[in-house]
Amino acid sequence: MKQSSVDAVIRGLKRAGVSIVCYLPDSLFKELYPALDADPDIRTIQVTNEGEGAAICGGVFLSGKRAALVMENSGLRASVEPLARMGLGAGIPVFMLLSYRGDMGENNWWAVPHGITMEPVLQALRIPYAVEREEDRIEQAIVDAYELAYSSYYHTAVALSGSIVR
Amino acid sequence: MKRFDCMTKLAARLSDELVILSLGASVDEWYNAAPHMRQASLFQQQLGCVTPQAFGLAAGLPDRQIVSLDTDGGLLFNLGILATLGNEQPKNLFVVVWDNEQYQSIGGPKTHTASGRVDLAGIARASGVDHAYTATTLEEFDAHCEAGLKSDTPYVVVAKVSGTVQPEIKRKHSDGREDKYIFVRHVEKTEGITIMGPSEHN
């Protein structure tokens, strides 16, 4: 990621009121994680799997603070059970920022399943999402997704792809 | 050692704490053992989510004492949270693990702790949670509650309890959604904050 894209993500998270970010590091967002760690207004919590991160974000929601779960889109599959239980069973929302592995331009065979499954999994869970491929869309997409998560009390997601992550 | 008796001991020590608890018969036992904590307690349905969610709450409300009532089956589902707690060292999280060595809510098939070889408190200590203990008597459990609620580092007590359920407890009639609203409104009132506010009418 370019520094300008990293900055756009952080601007979007701050405008959305996010003060806690849970993440499991991945390669496409490589530059984002240390920037989040270094930001004095954001507490980062590195987790052992993305489902754990989703549950922590759910707990943060209950505290009145705002959290984001940042991960590769493969992490969505690891999060499905807690997302389904919290979202559909209790109305506890989690906002997710995903790096879009397996999109057009993918050059790793192991990442192909991530592209094949991401949108169908989001759709199966009825999670509204946006796929952004242009840097100038990042900030507003995060703000808009967060807004919807708090009016629906349901999860939303933004996946970043294209020139943003390559 | 009976879980309900442990709950009664813990409940007597709680007033303005917030509690996240696991699914199964322990939910109704808790609401009966700690009726004064009803609005301050939220049960979660998913194995592996209870302590992570309690930790999220603790991270968001660093000046409030948070209690996680987890289970052997639930903790085994995501042992990674112990490593996360070991690294993050929350100052306000007390974790109780009801270890009855079984998946009680589905009829009692054994969990991995039933073999006697798996030591959840030992796993916690090896994950960086220095204060992690096993309690086998009510007196030990109560002493750990006293220490754990005052501790400024994460504190885990694994309570070895029998697989019995307290007879004639009242069952709650609310679902996960109603429970969430009850809990959120309680947090809003006691913290003086808004979590689920009005829409904007624009």
Q: Which residues pair with B67 in a beta bridge?
A: B19, B94
How far is CA B196 from its chain centroid? 24
Q: How far away is chain B from the Cα of A61, in angstroms, using its nearest Cα?
A: 8
Residue-wise pLDDT tens digits, B155-174: 999 999 999 888 888 888 88
Q: Out of A52, A58, A63, name the one closest to residue B78 (CB).
A: A52
Number of compact structural domains in chain A: 1
Q: Label the pairing between strands B131-135 and B155-160.
A: parallel
Which is nearest to A19 in space by CA: A50, A61, A49? Answer: A61
Sheet holding A18-23, edge to edge: A43-46, A18-23, A66-72, A95-99, A156-160, A129-132
Handedness of CA B85, B86, B88, B91 (dihedral sign): positive
* CA dihedral for B140, B141, B146, B150, sign (positive or negative): positive
Q: What is the CATH number of the domain that holds A10?
A: 3.40.50.970
Pick from A48, A53, A64: CB nearest B83? A48
The tokens of A128 are what? 């509204």
> How far apart, in Å, are the Cα atoms of B175 and each of A26, A88, B201?
37, 11, 29
Better-predicted residue by pLDDT, B174 or A80? A80
- The answer to whether B48 touches A82, Cβ cutoff 8 Å, is yes
Contact A55 B49 (CB under 8 A): yes
Q: What integer pLDDT is reported at residue A9 of this predicted model?
A: 98
Of B45, B53, B178, which to mutate for an interface test with A (greatest number of A Cβ within 10 Å)? B53
Mean pLDDT of all residues belonging to chain A: 97
Query: B20 by DSSP, 3-state: which?
Result: strand
Residue A110: C-alpha distances to residues A115, A133, B169, B192 (Å): 10, 21, 52, 49
pLDDT value, residue B9: 98
Read off the pLDDT of each residue in B58-80 and give the average, rounded to a whole number: 97
**B51, B57, B190: best to mutate for the A interface, most A CBs within 10 A:** B57
**What average pLDDT does the structure give for chain B?**
95
* Mean pLDDT of the B79-95 span: 98
Contacts of B154 in chain A (CB under 8 A): none
Q: How far is A46 from chain B (nearest CA, A)?
A: 7
Nearest to A52 among B52, B176, B199 (CB): B52
* Residue B15 token pair: 């007033």
What pLDDT score does A15 carry?
98
10 Å CB burial of residue B125 (0-12, 13-18, 19+) is middle
Share of chain A above pLDDT 90, in %: 99
pLDDT of residue B191: 98
A68 touches chain B (CB under 8 A): no
Most confidently modeled of A82-86, B106-110, B169-173? A82-86
Which pLDDT score is estimated for B24?
78
User: What's the confidence (pLDDT) of residue B168?
Assistant: 86
Interface contacts A/B by beta carbons within 8 Å: 121
Please name the residue that has the structure tokens 């813990």: B10
pLDDT tens digits, one per residue of A34-51: 999 999 999 999 999 999
Residue A126 domain boundaries: 3-164
Quick check: B201 pLDDT over 80? no
Say what the pLDDT of residue B17 is: 98
Q: Report the SS3 class of residue A116.
A: helix
Name the pLDDT band for B45 (thresholds 50, 70, 90): confident
The CA distances from residue A7 to A4, A16, B122, in Å, are 5, 14, 42
Distance CA(B91)–CA(B76), nearest Å, equals 23
Q: What is the pLDDT of residue A46?
A: 98
Break chain B down into helix, strand, coil percent, rounded to 5.
Answer: 45, 15, 40
pLDDT for B101 beyond 90? yes
- Cα(first)–Cα(last) distance of chain A, in Å? 6
In angstroms, rounded to a whole number, what is the distance separating the alpha carbons of residues B29 and B166? Answer: 7
Tell me the per-residue pLDDT of B11-35, one tens digit each, with 9 for 90 and over: 999 999 999 999 877 888 999 999 9
Q: Is the pLDDT of residue B44 over 90?
A: no
Percent of chain B with pLDDT over 70: 100
Question: What are the structural domains of chain B?
Answer: 3-191 (3.40.50.970)
